[in-house]
Copies of this chain bind each other. A is one copy, B any other.
Amino acid sequence: MGSAFAQLLADSGNEVCLVGTHLDREIIDNLLADGIHPGLKVKLPKKVRVYFIEDLERILDDRVRMIVFGVNSAGVHWAVERIGPILQAPVPILMLTKGLAIQRNTINILPSIVAEELGRYDLNAIPVGAVGGPCIAGELAARRDTSVVIAHSDVELLDRLLKFVDAPYYHVRGSTDLIGVEACAALKNFYTLAVGYAAGELKKNGAASNGALMHNLAAGLFTQALAEINCFVKFLGGRSATVFGLPGAGDLYVTCQAGRNGRMGKLLGSGLLYREAKSQHMPDDTIEGAELALCIGKTLKQLIENKKIDGNAIPLAASIVNAICDNQPLQIPWHQFYRH
């Protein structure tokens, strides 16, 4: 996603430096050789200059107007530790990384955690924003029509960030609901595990004798997922309008159509337990939704027990946590649905 976004920034008229992590050496080697990104399978424009991580200090000078984080959620702390000691001024950061994490026994969004961690480097008030909405990286890289939301809690900075992206295939709007955008971006992966259940149940039971599939089931799960994302977003302090717009409904829709989380959901729906599904079928894949369950599962149970979150409002979340954290069969708690 970082590389696709780098191309977008170049298409928008910016000079872009794309810096790989230590895990991206092969990608960077490829890009330096012929400009072709081996994952995205596109040739990046020449205006995207490509660097190894060792070049970071040299690149991060006072001409830098924006830093974009394209690492995965496990790499965020690493990225902060690289950038913190080097950065001279509070350059705005835009995070493509989606995530929720545990902080002081509750759930927080990654941009807040990053902003706080950067504060330790005498870089107070580094403004951290985020991108949400339905955006498969390969499609963005192919310059196919993509609709997103860029979020920042500061309106003036939001306007500045929006000016960096201006390409005909990128349909962008701004939002000040950073919490809602980030929470939706993380939770859509988690809930796609459950929507994917329908495809697995269908695989297990087959089409009915009259040819009927299980679209009704998938749509019911999709709707419950959306309602529960709304509960989470309200708990975290975000806005419902975000849930029912591109960051929530739009991103959940696209994630249910394709990708690893849906594939894992299908495996769970077909009757496999999480650990066997992972080890037998997707050993080398990062399943973001499952990673999130493992990260927040225990704290979520405590928050429900302590009545900080209304467990009745998120029965599907509890089922997903049981399936991933406790390796239980994924159950669909129908009798607890559609109450809100």
Q: Which residues of A come within 8 Å of B, CB atoms? A: 40-42, 133-136, 138-142, 144-147, 149, 171, 173, 208-220, 222-223, 226-227, 230, 240, 243-246, 249-251, 253-254, 257-258, 332, 334, 337-339
Contact = CB atoms under 8 A, between A and B. Distances in A.
A135 B42 contact: no
B138 A220 contact: no
B218 A257 contact: yes
Contacts of A216: 134-136, 139-140, 144-147, 254
30 contacts: A41-B209, A41-B210, A42-B209, A134-B219, A134-B220, A134-B223, A138-B210, A138-B212, A139-B215, A140-B216, A141-B212, A142-B210, A144-B213, A144-B216, A145-B217, A145-B332, A146-B216, A147-B220, A147-B337, A171-B334, A171-B337, A218-B257, A219-B246, A219-B253, A219-B254, A222-B250, A223-B250, A226-B244, A243-B244, A246-B338
A41 B210 CA distance: 5
Nearest to A135: B216
A211 B136 CA distance: 12
A51 to B, nearest CB: 23
Contacts of A339: 173
B142 A212 contact: yes
A22 to B, nearest CB: 25
A150 to B, nearest CB: 12
A339 B147 CA distance: 12
Contact of A214 (B145, B217, B220, B253): B145
Contacts of A149: 338
Contacts of A253: 218-219, 222-223, 253
A208 to B, nearest CB: 3
Nearest to A220: B147
Contact of A141 (B42, B139, B145, B210): B210
Given A139-B213, A218-B254, 8 more contacts: A41-B209, A136-B212, A141-B210, A147-B216, A215-B258, A219-B246, A220-B250, A222-B253
A210 B39 CA distance: 9
A154 B243 CA distance: 30
A222 B249 contact: yes
Contacts of A230: 244
B219 A250 contact: yes
Contacts of A40: 210
A145 B223 contact: no
Nearest to A205: B144
A339 B213 CA distance: 36
Contacts of A210: 40-42, 138, 141-142
